Chain A
Amino acid sequence: MSEPVLAARALSKSFGPNDVLKGIEFEVHAGASVALCGENGAGKSTLIKLLTGLYHPTSGHVEFNGNQEDWSSPRASLDAGIAVVHQEFSTIGALSVAENIFLDAEPLTRFGLIDRKALVSRTEALLDKLGIHLPARSLVDELSVADKQMVEIAKALRSDARVLILDEPTAVLSQNETRHLFKIINELRARGLGIVYVSHRLDEIFEICTDITVIKDGVVTSQGPVADYSHDTVIAAMVGRELGNLFPEKPHGAEAGIPMLAVRDLVVADGVPPVSFEVKAGEILGLAGLVGSGRTELALAIYGAEAVSGTVLIEGEPLDYRSPSNSIDAGILMLTESRKDDGLFLNSSVARNFAATTPGHGVHPARVAIGHEEARARVMKDRFGVVVDNVGLPISALSGGNQQKVLIARLLENRPKVLILDEPTRGVDVGAKSEIYKMLRHLADEGMAILAISSELIEIVGLCDRVFVMRDGELAAELMSQEISEEAIMSVAAAETSSHHGVASNG
Chain B
Amino acid sequence: MDQVSHVTKAESRNLNFYYSNGAHALKGINMPLYENKITALIGPSGCGKSTFLRCFNRMHDLYPGNRYDGQIVMHPDNTNILADGVDPIEVRMRISMVFQKPNPFPKSIYENVAYGLRVRGGKNKKVIDDKVEQALRGAALWDEVKDRLNDLAFNLSGGQQQRLCIARALATDPEIMLFDEPTSALDPIATASIEELMTELRNKLTILVVTHNMQQAARVSDYTAYMYLGDLVEFSKTDDIFIKPKDKRTEDYITGRIG
A binds B: no
Interface residues of chain A, those whose CB is within 8 Å of chain B, are none
- List residues of chain B with CB under 8 Å of any chain A CB: none
